Amino acid sequence: MSLRAASSPHTELYVYWAACRGARAMPARADLDPVEMKPFLPHLMLFDVLGDRFRYRLVGTQVVRDFGRDITGSFLGGNNPQQPFAADVTGIFLRVRDSATPLFTIGHHQTADGVTHSVSRLLLPLGQDGRANMILLCRLARYPRRQDDAAAWDASAQAAQSEMFEIASEAEIRDLVARWEAQSDRISADPQDRLF
């Protein structure tokens, strides 16, 4: 199975995931080929589902740069000082685990000096017999201005998960990516527009 030229890592990953799934609710991790996923590996995270907890099994190089550290092996929410936001994100993962439905989310981080970073995530279940035992996540972030110390902004930024959508088709993910990109462009034009 070969990939088409990527219009967005989100779109291409969804198309690939859906092709690997076939008629099943979701593909298993063994159905995915890292060589075919190479164009979007920097933006990917892979999580083990361990009951109600989610452990970072793999964190892509761009995500590590965005976070300012490698969080492989840690648990979702364990590195975030903002527990309400961490609880919201965990709720999204639980929904993907329980429904076996792909989700697209849009969120924002705003630094102490008022600069907004826009983040989009595509969460895809992996597993067998209709039960998700892993979650594959593609994370894209747009920054009007890069911080010199990514870890510093991540620790001090206020965060909000603003929108969440179930995905059932390639057309839906394309439309949502275009919407997020337009929203990010507006934020880039006025990065001091306070959200919080």
pLDDT in tens, 34-73: 999 998 899 999 999 999 999 999 999 999 988 888 999 9
Q: How confident is the model over 73-82, as pLDDT tens digits? A: 999 987 665 5
> Is 2 within the bounds of a domain?
no
The structural domain count of the chain equals 1
Query: What local confidence, expressed as pLDDT, does residue 185 receive?
Result: 76
> Is 195 within the bounds of a domain?
no
Query: What local confidence, expressed as pLDDT, does residue 79 receive?
Result: 64
> Is 89 within the bounds of a domain?
yes
> Is 1 within the bounds of a domain?
no
> Is 3 within the bounds of a domain?
no
Quote the DSSP letter at residue 27.
-
| Strand pairing class (158-166; 44-50) | unpaired
Which domain does 106 fall in, by range? 9-189
Give the Cα separation of 48 and 175 in Å (integer).
29
> Is 17 within the bounds of a domain?
yes
Between the two ends of the chain, the Cα-to-Cα distance in Å is 44
For residue 32, the domain's CATH number is 3.30.450.20
> Is 196 within the bounds of a domain?
no
Residues 6 or more apart from 129 whose CB is under 8 A from it? none
pTM: 0.85
Q: What are the distances in angstroms from CA 15 to CA 109, 134, 151? A: 28, 18, 32
Give the Cα separation of 165 and 195 in Å (integer).
21
